Amino acid sequence: MSKPMPFAQSIRFTTWALCALGVVLSAVALAIWGRGAWVPLVVFGALTLLGWRDYTQTRHAVLRNYPVLGHMRFLLEFIRPEIRQYFVEGDHDAGEPFTRAQRTVVYQRAKGAPDVRPFGTKLDVGAKGYEWINHSLQTTRIDSHDFRIWIGGEPGTPRAGASPCTQPYNASVFNISAMSFGALSANAILALNQGARIGGFAHDTGEGGISRYHREHGGDIIWEIGSGYFGCRNADGSFNAERFAAQAREPQVKMVEIKISQGAKPGHGGVLPGAKVTPEIAAARGVPVGVDCISPSAHSAFSTPVELMHFIARLRTLSGGKPVGFKLCIGHIWEWFGIVKAMLETDITPDYIVVDGAEGGTGAAPIEFADHMGAPVQEGLHLVHNTLIGAGLRERVKIGAAGKVITSFDLARMFALGADWCNSGRGFMMALGCIQAQVCHSGFCPTGITTQDQKRERALVVADKAPRVAQYHANTLHALKELLQAAGLMHPDQLSTHHIVRRIDSERIRLLSAIMPTIRPGALLNDLSHQLNVYRLYWPLADAHSFNPRNPDAGEPDGAPDIRPTVAGRPASAAQIAEALTRRRAPHPGAITHLVPEQSNAHRAVPSADTPTHVPKEWTASGANGAGGAPAPAAHEDQVV
């Protein structure tokens, strides 16, 4: 007896067969009734031919098996994000990357719609990781939500250090994060910059240079300079001082930011494919039209921490004394400590540092970089803040932070962890109408934000979206003002880790100050033996004259706990770690660096002399790093406490 045909089997060719039947019936109808039947004849004919093409093509197995019908799958896949967002996703489902609730609050604040929550919280206040701010019985009254800070020193107060800033900037505590023209459309740049001007806050250009769209509305600009030195480069891609000075001295440019790394793809380069290098993008970047535009993975203007400090001083002079800082995502701890040692040695300090977290956004990044490279903002920010305190430099350097900052509580948390201000990238994209379709790299952005297709970008009406950018900013800061008032504070700079409480498990809670203790001022300049392991172990390794770890003079710190890597069963000394890491840095014959196009799927491999760093084999002997592929977790945990 033959087996019954499964349903899926029976419908395999049914749709195609029905189309063919439709052709026959339409042809008969045409013969009987004449002209009116040609429309179904054409439609069914086209579908029948499509079925034939599906059946004979060799690229898509689904279409070969399900001619015509198989296209439904592609259609459904295409609209899956929208279906999920509109019909399936719960308000607080783990974000992809932002929850519906987060997106909704941005849309509401951008539109000036009511953002109150009836009936109480939907969060599980008993869940591990739940956080809140302690409120006060002595609430305050704050006149304005326009919270500001001085970057580069307060006017009228003496500035410390060699090469101090002479044109400090009075910045809002909430600004637009770096996103280039090229990654964003012209209309998106126009709307962001006009919004920044309306709201009196800053708009970071991203590393793609200052375009005419940044200039049109005159909003304050932070000019970001990446490793491609776009807008200030020679033909060979090296830094050009004259070109830099010409633009940095423009009054609209308020600060200069050296991009060292970005949280979503730290240590990675990028390439804008030649086909996307339009005349306007080429003009902003100072590169030839139609030629691949490459951002190397490292800078050519400096190669040691001390050289970085001198580069900062040089940019400050060339810009006419404007604040100069850098943006980084924390990676190897000794490299960051080396930068701080260089500050101490040269007496040159950046006016600010923006700490970007691994959770930050990007136009395009390899998935491993986006998911597993670089420190999250909480750990990076805490480390940067504490290192500067420990080195006695915190008063001279302001700190910005970025990484999924959407609501005023996100802002408050960053301030508590040590930030002086915050940047948001995707928050402001949502204010422009981003629906989180996540096809930013394809050029097919449905909302006209991340595309260079003029027909698509016309969907973004600047006059409508610029006020939304300003309103999102203002309403978020208004909500922050209300949080501060309830906590009995007057300014975000009064927030500390003592104000935030985190649930550890169902029975226990902790102040952030207990989980993430603050170092004593100047502690790194003295005996390290009582400091956390991250300082005891890595500070001696750091070298102001090299990003490589060095053999420390200080020897091995006393009483090192057994979470450290081991060599032959004994805790490794700092010197042994340094030696192992230095050996690892010998050039690798087959090393390659993959560059990701800023708006394309195509990955390209470009040879590089850089060596990928791996965990030394000696470290894995500790058992702390079983597979030997990822950084030793013990050391990383140490870093975060």
Ligand X SMILES: Cc1cc2nc3c(=O)[nH]c(=O)nc-3n(C[C@H](O)[C@H](O)[C@H](O)COP(=O)(O)O)c2cc1C
Residue 183, contacted partner among ligand X, ligand SF4, none, CB below 5-8 A by kind: ligand X
Q: Which of 26, 196, 202, 207 binds ligand X (CB under 6 A)?
A: 207
Q: Which of residues 427-446 bind ligand X (CB under 6 A)?
A: 427, 440
DSSP conformation class of 174: E
429 lies in the binding site for ligand SF4 (CB under 6 A)? yes
Pick one of ligand SF4, ligand X, none as the site partner of residue 492 (Cβ within 5 to 8 A by kind).
none
Q: H helices within 347-376, ranges in order?
A: 367-372
Full DSSP string of 608-640:
-S-------HHHHTTSSSSSSSS--HHHHHHHH
Provide, rounded to whole angstroms, the least separation between the CB of residue 528 and ligand X. Answer: 32
Residue with tokens 């809002």: 172
Give the nearer residue to ligand X in terms of CB position, either 354 or 389: 354
CB of 469 vs ligand SF4, minimal distance in Å: 14
Question: At a CB cut-off of 8 Å and minimum separation 6, what does 328 contact?
Answer: 260, 261, 266, 336, 353, 354, 355, 356
Q: In the range 359-378, which residues lie near ligand SF4 by CB under 6 A?
A: none
User: Would you say how long the chain is, in residues?
Assistant: 641
Running DSSP on this structure, what letter comes out for residue 425? S
300 DSSP assignment: S
- Grouping H, G, I as helix, E, B as strand and the rest as coil, residue 98 is coil
Q: How far is the CB of 161 from ligand X (least distance, A)?
A: 25
**First CA to last CA distance, the chain:** 70
435 binds ligand SF4 (CB under 6 A): yes
Q: Side chain identity at 610, as an amino acid letter?
A: D
Q: Which residue from 183, 370, 470, 595 is in contact with ligand X, where contact means CB under 6 A?
A: 183
Q: Which of residues 332-391 bind ligand X (CB under 6 A)?
A: 356, 360-363
Least distance CB 50 / ligand SF4 (angstroms): 28
Residue 599 as a binder of ligand SF4 (CB under 6 A): the answer is: no
Phi, psi of 541, deg, nearest 5: -75, -20
Among 106, 402, 466, 575, binds ligand X (CB under 6 A): 402
Contact window for ligand X (CB under 6 A) among 138-146, 206-214, 276-284, 300-308? 206-214
* Amino acid, single-letter form, for residue 552: P
Restricted to residues 573-592, the positions that interact with ligand SF4 (CB under 6 A) are none
Q: Can you read off the two tokens belonging to residue 454?
A: 């003029």
Residue 446's binding partner among ligand X, ligand SF4, none (Cβ under 5 to 8 angstroms by kind) is ligand SF4
- Using CB under 6 A as the binding rule, whether residue 183 contacts ligand SF4 is answered as no
**Residue 110 interacts with ligand SF4 (CB under 6 A): yes or no:** no
Of 179, 221, 258, 634, which lies in the binding site for ligand X, with binding defined by CB under 6 A? 179
Residue pointed to by tokens 């909480």: 378
List the structure tokens of 129.
Answer: 């990781």
Q: Which does 435 bind (CB under 5 to 8 A by kind): ligand X, ligand SF4, none?
A: ligand SF4
Q: Which of 445, 480, 495, 575 binds ligand SF4 (CB under 6 A)?
A: 445
Instruction: Report the alpha-carbon distance of residue 370 to residue 366 in Å, rounded.
Output: 6
Identify which of 500, 400, 440, 403 has the alpha carbon closest to the alpha carbon of residue 98.
403
Task: Count Cα neighbours of 113 within 13 Å in the Cβ-side half-sphere.
Answer: 9
Q: For the purposes of burial, counting CB atoms within 10 Å of the CB of 561, is it exposed (0-12), middle (13-18) or buried (19 or more)?
A: exposed
- Rounded to whole angstroms, how far apart are CA atoms 541 and 362? 32
Q: Tell me how many degrees the CA angle 172-178-183 measures, rounded to the nearest 5.
A: 145
Instruction: Give Cα separations from 14 to 40, 44, 57, 88 (angstroms).
Output: 18, 14, 18, 30
Stretch that binds ligand SF4, among 50-58, 323-331, 365-373, 437-445 (CB under 6 A): 437-445
Is residue 454 near ligand SF4 by the rule CB under 6 A?
no
Using CB under 6 A, which of 103, 276, 341, 404 touches ligand X? 404
Q: Are residues 54 and 63 in contact, defined by beta-carbon separation less than 8 angstroms?
A: yes
Q: Could you tell me if 150 and 204 are in contact, meaning their C-beta atoms sit under 8 angstroms apart? A: no
Interface residue with ligand SF4 among 9, 134, 303, 438 (CB under 6 A) is: 438
d(CA 389, CA 340): 11
360 binds, among ligand X, ligand SF4, none (CB under 5 to 8 A by kind): ligand X
Is 261 among the residues that bind ligand SF4 (CB under 6 A)?
no
439 interacts with, out of ligand SF4, ligand X, none, CB within 5 to 8 A per kind: ligand SF4
Q: Tell me: does residue 459 bind ligand SF4 (CB under 6 A).
A: no
Q: Which one, 202 or 434, has the nearer CB to ligand SF4?
A: 434
Q: Do residues 228 and 298 lie in contact, with contact meaning Cβ atoms separated by under 8 Å?
A: no
Query: Which pair of structure tokens corresponds to residue 612?
Result: 């990928």
Q: Which is nearer to ligand SF4, 404 or 503 (CB)?
A: 404
For ligand SF4, the closer of residues 205 and 436 by Cβ is: 436
**Which of 316, 426, 456, 502: binder of ligand X (CB under 6 A)?**
426
Name the residue among 209, 208, 204 with its Cα closest to residue 221: 204
- Region of 214-222, 331-339, 447-455, 458-466 interacting with ligand SF4 (CB under 6 A): 447-455
Instruction: Give the residue with the Cβ less far from ligand SF4, 172 or 451.
Output: 451
Residue among 100 and 341 whose Cβ is closer to ligand SF4: 100
Task: Residue 263: name its binding partner from ligand SF4, ligand X, none (Cβ under 5 to 8 Å by kind).
Answer: ligand X
Q: Which residue has the tokens 């706990």?
A: 561
Residue of 145, 214, 259, 502 that binds ligand X (CB under 6 A) = 259
What Cα–Cα distance (Å) separates residue 430 from each residue in 110, 134, 325, 424, 447? 9, 29, 27, 10, 10
The answer to the question of residue 635 lying near ligand SF4 (CB under 6 A) is no
400 belongs to the binding site for ligand X (CB under 6 A): no
Q: How many CB atoms lie within 10 A of CB 105?
A: 23
Q: Which is nearer to ligand SF4, 461 or 554 (CB)?
A: 461
Which range of residues in 100-108, 402-410, 439-447, 453-461 is near ligand SF4 by CB under 6 A?
439-447
Exposed (0-12), middle (13-18) or buried (19+): which is 551, by Cβ within 10 Å?
middle
Q: What is the CA radius of gyration of the chain?
A: 28
Shortest separation between residue 641's beta carbon and ligand SF4, angstroms: 35
Instruction: Report the nearest approach of ligand SF4 to the CB of residue 437 (Å).
Output: 3
Question: What is residue 592's three-state secondary structure?
Answer: strand
Q: Give the total of residues touching ligand X (CB under 6 A).
A: 28
Distance CA 153, CA 404 (A): 28
Can residue 269 be called a binding residue for ligand X (CB under 6 A)?
Answer: no
Place of tokens 């600060």: 255
Specify the residue, 238 or 438, whose C-beta has the smaller distance to ligand SF4. 438
Binding stretches for ligand SF4 (CB under 6 A):
429, 434-440, 445-447, 449-450
By the criterion CB under 6 A, which residues form the site for ligand X? Answer: 177-180, 183, 206-208, 224, 259, 262-263, 327, 356, 360-363, 402-405, 424-427, 440, 450
